Amino acid sequence: MPSSSLTETKFPCSEELTKFLEHLSAVEGRSVNTVKSYGRDLRDFFTFLKEERSFPIKAAPSRIMRDDVTAYLEHLGSRRAIRGGAKLSAATLNRRLSAIRKFFRFCIDYKICDTDPTADLKGARHESKLPVFLTIEEVEKLIRSIPGSDLAGLRDRAIVECLYSTGLRVSELVSLNIGDFPSRGDTMRVIGKRNKERIVFLGEPATRAIGNYLRERRALKHETFHDSPLFINLKGGRLSQRSIQRMLADRATEAGLRVIPTPHSLRHSFATHLVQGGADLRTVQELLGHAKLGTVQIYTHLSLKDLRERYLDAHPLAREEIE
Number of Cβ within 10 Å of residue 223's Cβ equals: 12
Q: What is the pLDDT of residue 150?
A: 95
| DSSP conformation class of 320 | S
Give the pLDDT score at 82.
39
| pLDDT attached to residue 295 | 74
Burial string for 110-138 (b: 16+ CB within 10 Å, else e) reads eebbeebbbeeeeebeeeeeebebbeeeb
Local mean pLDDT, 10-residue blocks, the chain (323 residues)? 50 95 93 93 95 93 95 78 54 90 96 94 67 88 95 97 96 95 90 87 95 95 92 94 94 92 93 87 90 74 57 63 46
240 Cβ contact partners less than 8 Å away, ≥ 6 residues apart? 174, 233
Which pLDDT value is given to residue 5?
Answer: 43
Kindly list the catalytic residues.
169, 193, 264, 267, 290, 299
Dmax (CA) for the chain in angstroms is 80
Q: Do domains 4-109 and 136-309 have the same CATH topology?
A: no
User: What CATH number belongs to 136-309?
Assistant: 1.10.443.10
> Which residue type does 30 have?
R
Is the model's pTM score more than 0.85?
Answer: no
The fold adopted by the segment(s) 4-109 is: DNA polymerase; domain 1 (1.10.150)
Nearest alpha carbon to residue 168 among 267, 286, 303, 35: 267
